Amino acid sequence: MQIQTHEHGFPFIVVDDYFDEEEMEILWNEVDKLYKEDIFLDPVDSYSAFDENGFLKMNKCIHLDEYFAKKREKCEILRLNRKIFTEEVLQQGKSWFFTNFIKTCDYDATLLSYYESDNYYRAHTDASTVTGLFWFFKEPKKFEGGQFIFPDYKLDIEVVSNRMILFPSFIRHQVLEVRLHPKYAGQNMGRWCMTHFLDSKTMADMTENKKRRDVEKQNQIKKDVKNVMFNR
């Protein structure tokens, strides 16, 4: 595991080779299984960020804590992502912001997202304190695009398989459009991202209230979309 701490108007940490070979094999075994089960949600059903024009992303995702709520012990991904709380990560991180926060973090949630052709996530912030993004994909890489950008800082972070990036959630970030060759469509050859939202329970409760309000707004968007389709 190789950890680098950066300052670019805000602190962030990049961790390469985040999981070892055995952990990656366990991760892929579960991801492949979930992919075949076709349980991933569209933006309209997954608490996606949105503005007055609609949803900001186009991809498929699943909230693992909710999906495995009654069988959490059976989810290898939720076991593996505990790694972020280990001394191995904390001692090497060398960032007062992340080290002190993660040590006191008492709430986290995990989102698994998959991007294929024409998928993207426009600039947005997350409703947490710290966001951790773990990228992975089948190699050799079969897609182009999908760059990760902090637009307000004109900062482009290379998307490398088995790379984790940690940053303050209030910093706007985005994923550019992914381009996957048609012959690889539907074969699990796109861009994967495991998002780890880190927070305190107090902030999480506030986030939950916001989520409920967002769900109400999203339900209204669903109705508006259905009305448009019906009236065509």
CATH number of domain containing 135: 2.60.120.620
| Phi-psi sector, 202: left (phi>0), alpha (psi -120 to 50), beta | alpha
pLDDT confidence of residue 90:
66
Q: 212: domain range?
A: 2-230
pLDDT confidence of residue 117:
93
Neighbouring residues of 102: CB distance < 8 A, sequence distance ≥ 6: 84, 85, 89, 90, 130, 198
**Rg (Cα) of the chain, in Å, rounded?**
18
pLDDT confidence of residue 208:
52
- Measured over all CA atoms, what is the biggest interatomic distance in the chain, rounded to whole angstroms? 59
Spatial separation of the C-alpha atoms in residues 200 and 77, rounded to whole Å: 21
Q: Answer whether 121's CB lies under 8 Å from 59's CB.
A: yes
Neighbouring residues of 227: CB distance < 8 A, sequence distance ≥ 6: none
pLDDT confidence of residue 89:
74
Q: Answer whether 230's CB lies under 8 Å from 223's CB.
A: no
- For residue 150, list its beta bridge partners: 155
Q: What is the pLDDT along the chain (232 residues), one digit of tens a residue?
A: 999 989 999 999 999 999 999 999 999 999 999 999 989 988 777 666 677 777 888 999 999 999 999 899 999 999 999 998 887 776 666 677 777 777 778 889 999 999 999 999 999 999 898 999 999 999 999 999 999 999 999 999 999 999 999 999 999 999 999 999 999 999 999 999 999 999 887 654 544 544 554 445 555 555 554 454 445 5
Q: Answer whether 75's CB lies under 8 Å from 165's CB.
A: no
Q: Beta-carbon neighbour count of residue 103 at 10 Å?
A: 10
DSSP letter for 20, please.
-
Q: Answer whether 110's CB lies under 8 Å from 64's CB.
A: yes
Spatial separation of the C-alpha atoms in residues 26 and 81, rounded to whole Å: 12
Neighbouring residues of 42: CB distance < 8 A, sequence distance ≥ 6: 60
Domains of the chain: total: 1
| Phi-psi sector, 147: left (phi>0), alpha (psi -120 to 50), beta | beta
Q: Answer whether 127's CB lies under 8 Å from 207's CB.
A: yes
Spatial separation of the C-alpha atoms in residues 218 and 45, rounded to whole Å: 8
Look at residue 107 and give its three-state secondary structure.
strand
* E strand residue ranges, 19-80: 50-51, 54-55, 57-58, 60-63
pLDDT confidence of residue 183:
93
